Structure 1
Amino acid sequence: MFGKKAQPPIKSLIAQGTRIEGNMKFTEGLRVDGEVYGDIQAVFEEAGSLLVISEASVVQGAIQADHVIINGTVRGPVHARELLELQPKAKIEGDVSYVALEMHQGATISGQLKPLVAGGAAGEDEKPLLKLAAKSA
């Protein structure tokens, strides 16, 4: 389901040591290694969007993108229109909505989990995809 489409390239970087205050929008791919105090929103495109929040980063605001990978701290709601990957050091303080969720051991969420229906059609009996990642040796 999600392996068919190639991930968009990461074309923008907020480097470690950088602090941005204010809302931002991006297309294709964005990697955050620094701090963002404001909302981060991917502009809807047919090619999709990828947002990576790395281990040392802090985001205080709402996040919205197709594919979201988190290994840092997010204080605010997270909306993944396709796949949300929570790596071992992910810490989310806010509600999370997703179509598919992959959560590694050690990741934490302080908020509600709200599964979305793929394709946006409400009222279907389709269950959201949930994948638990096993601890690697």
Structure 2
Amino acid sequence: MKTELSITLISPGCTITGDMIVDHGVSCFGLLNGGIVSTQGLLHVGAGGLVKGTAQGDHVRIDGRVDGNVHARASLEINGQVTGDILYCGTIRLGPHATLNGALKRVPRMLTIEAEPVSTGSEQVAEVAAPAQGSVATERPESNVTEFARAKA
């Protein structure tokens, strides 16, 4: 069985405006004006790369710069600069050139997936899927797992 490596490359000099959701790895060496979510594989912000928004992935490596929150579900390695909060649940490694300006929080895996607020009047709440027939509804922490799965389909 042959396996193919799928990766999206944002090359130097390239600018992308808007959010990206990919179901494989991604390497960013350019400018991304928006958030990025990698559902599988490595999310790599390379040297010279800049993400202006949230960066979410299973395995996250920051060698460039992220101006926004970082959410890592399995592993996180930082050799670059992060201005924003970092949520991780696996391993973390800070390199000699790591620069952090924000809170570093170890959280359960489900909390590393950012909640998408849904506006209802003047307040914002996270959308929660209705419980299955016969099950008891329980309050759970903010998560966009259902939104994440829908976006992936």
- 1:103 corresponds to: 94
Residues 68-116 of structure 1: per-residue CA shift (max 9 Å, x gap): 00000100000001100012xx000000011211111120110000102
User: In 1, Cα distance between the equivalents of 2:103 and 2:5?
Assistant: 30
- Whichever structure has more helix as a proportion of its residues is 2
Asked if the contact 1:64–1:78 (Cα under 8 Å) also holds between the matched residues in 2, the reply is yes
* Shift in alpha-carbon separation, 1:102–1:42, aligned structure 2, 3 A: same
- Per the TM alignment, residue 42 of structure 1 is displaced from its structure 2 partner at its CA by 1.9
5+ residue gaps, structure 2: 112-153
- Asked which structure has the greater RCO (Cα within 8 Å, sep 6+), the reply is 1
Question: RMSD of the TM alignment (CA)?
Answer: 1.8
Q: What is the aligned partner in structure 2 of residue 91 from structure 1?
A: 81
Residue 134 of structure 1 corresponds to none
Query: What one-letter code is carried by the residue in structure 2 that aligns with 1:96?
Result: I
1:115 equivalenced with 2:106 (yes/no): yes
2:26 — aligned with what?
30
- The percentage of counterpart residues that share the same residue type is 34
Rounded Cα–Cα distance in structure 2 between residues aligned with 1:120 and 1:59:
23
Could you tell me whether the CA contact under 8 Å between 1:10 and 1:50 is conserved in 2? no
Which ranges of 4 or more aligned residues in structure 1 deviate by more than 6 Å? Answer: none
Residue identity matched to 2:23: T
Q: What does 1:17-96 align with in structure 2 at a 5 Å threshold?
A: 17-43=13-39, 48-87=40-79, 90-96=80-86
Deviations 1:116-137 (A, max 9, x none): 23x559xxxxxxxxxxxxxxxx
SS at match of 1:49: strand
Residue 10 of structure 1, CA deviation: 4.8
Are residues 10 and 85 of structure 1, via their aligned partners in 2, closer, same or farther at CA, if it must alter by over 3 Å? farther
Q: TM-score, normalised by structure 2?
A: 0.65
CA deviation after TM superposition for structure 1 residue 11, in Å: 1.7
TM-score by length of 1: 0.73
Residue by residue over 1:45-78, the C-alpha shift from the partner in whole angstroms, topping out at 9 and shown as x without a partner, is xxx3210100111110001100000000100000
